[in-house]
Amino acid sequence: MQGIGVYDSGLGGLTVLRELKRCFPKEKFIYFADTAHLPYGTKSLDQIRSYGQGAGRHFQEAGVKALVVACNTATGAALDLLRDQMPCPVLGVIEPGAKAAHQASKNKKYALLATQSTIDRGLYQAYLKDLDPRAQVYGLACPQMVLAVEDGLADHYIGRKIVWEYLDQLPADYDTLILGCTHFPLAQKAVEDYFKQKKRQVKVIDPAIQTCLDLAETVKMEEGKTGKTNYYTSGEKTLFKEKLEKIFGERVRVGNWDF
């Protein structure tokens, strides 16, 4: 087996891939974006689990040595299924994110920005309460943030306005905010600017960082070779390729995986 598989519904998982490439520059990665079925956050549990199985079959054929489910919604809905299906370790992003948030928080009050599916599944809430029964989690579904990132508006005034309007809906007593959708680190500057404007000290958690640490403890990483990433999508390739090149600032090739 070779390489690390990275699975997401769209562009969001690129924030996880970016961190993985930074931590493991010699490793081979296979990134799959299931853009044909985007967004996952509004889909039923059965639908998401079916998409996960389809993605898992492709990663099995590719022979990856580990799979990172770089999507909070898919982690919550299909992580158990993928762990049963795959012959290699499968990591999600929710447990690492909860762990990092717990370590960062002083008052154990958390805000969670995520999709409706992730909020409803309640896994962040459960993990945080397992770590400390005093934990209070204010969950807020933010579907328009997902769409803003997918449309390339994270750094645009429209995206910023969307982010700030969501943050205005939360109470003001949390000290740690979890970016509980892998799209949201692409809008992290707008989040941090909000807290600066409000003169609040809030720790912003990107679960990708802890996910990399957990992955390093799970599998042996490649050494001494030049890193390489192969990209695949289930949807339209040209637009996805353009977005990839804008984010990473380099030319890429994109293949199709259908199911």
Q: Which two tokens stand for residue 102?
A: 């717990």
Mean pLDDT, rounded, for 9-34:
92
Domain positions in the chain are 4-92+209-256, 94-207
Task: For the domain made up of 94-207, give the CATH fold.
Answer: Rossmann fold (3.40.50)
**Tokens 């012959």 — which residue?**
87
CA–CA distance, 101 with 128 (Å, rounded to integer)? 8
CA distances from 163 to 19, 67, 112, 126, 195 (A): 23, 30, 13, 25, 11
Active site residues: 71, 181
Model's pTM, two decimal places?
A: 0.90
- Reported as a pLDDT band with limits 50, 70 and 90, residue 224 is low
CA pseudo-torsion sign 143, 147, 153, 155: positive
Task: For the domain made up of 4-92+209-256, give the CATH fold.
Answer: Rossmann fold (3.40.50)
Q: Do domains 4-92+209-256 and 94-207 have the same CATH topology?
A: yes
Kindly report, residue by residue over 59-93, the tens digit of the pLDDT.
999 999 999 999 998 999 999 999 999 999 999 99
Kindly report, residue by residue over 137-173, the tens digit of the pLDDT.
999 999 999 888 878 888 889 999 999 999 999 999 9
